[in-house]
Amino acid sequence: MKIGIVGCAGRMGRMLIQTVLETQGCTLGGGTERPGSDALGQDLGALAGVPAVGIAVSGDSLALFGACDAIIDFTGPAATAAHAVLALETATALVVGTTGLDEAQRQALARAARKTVVVQAANMSVGVNLLLGLTRQVASILGDDYDIEVVEMHHRHKVDAPSGTALALGEAAAAGRGVRLEEVSQRGRDGHTGPRGKGDIGFATLRGGDVVGEHTVIFATDGERVELTHKAASRAVFAKGAVRAALWTQQGAPPGLYSMRDVLGFSKSP
């Protein structure tokens, strides 16, 4: 199958090019960048630091969608919403790892999913999706005398906070407790905040250096603490998961909005 990469000059885009080229069962269908990008016209292989592949970076996203079986998108919320429109127009499968989407942008993906397969996940790694399942299970077992805190750290260039993965972990914890995250989320503490609210799910965000991604869910009560942690040492884990998702889109699933849990075959039960 042919896989295209939008936003191919970014850190994840370059890693995705390498991963597609290294993965059996797929070929690189092309890559695009925004107007004015210095990457336009460059060979995709050279851009990714591998031998030239004879395909130049393009600015024509519609043509890329029309030429490929699936598109992988780790761009930004506004660009992802625009790509969802192209997926709807061309019925091309879309794999989205973009975080920070607002409701309107999520609805754009939902509309595309009426006509094609869309896989959207805050994190594409197998390990993180295992962590999501464990978080939901532990939260369902431990009572609300265990305080839940989600701590995440990423590189200095990340623009959204908390990370999409941290929010997904909060959603998993809330689901395990049978509550709505928006009703118990505590995302900011500064100054005299008073005591911690019973049942709150707190978030702490750290930024610095070149950290790829670290997430810890803490369950703390009097006398003990349980911590579930995932640390990514390379963006390759996200790229491998995204390519795996792209290959999965061609395995017969009907149009719809799917998650990595569907791709990996994980049970939906806690």
Lay out the sheet containing 213-221: strands in order across. 185-186, 201-207, 147-154, 213-221, 224-232
Residue 115 a catalytic site member: no
Catalytic one among 154, 215, 230, 240? 154
Question: Cα 38 to the chain's mean position, in Å?
Answer: 26
Token pair of 102 as six digits: 């607002």
Q: Taking the CB of residue 209, how many other CB atoms lie within 10 A of it?
A: 9
Instruction: DSSP for 38-56, please give it.
Output: TTTTSBHHHHTTS---S-B
Residue 154 a catalytic site member: yes
Lay out the sheet containing 70-73: strands in order across. 27-32, 2-6, 70-73, 93-96, 117-120, 256-258
- DSSP class of residue 209 equals T
Catalytic one among 2, 115, 155, 158? 158
Residue numbers annotated as active site = 154, 158
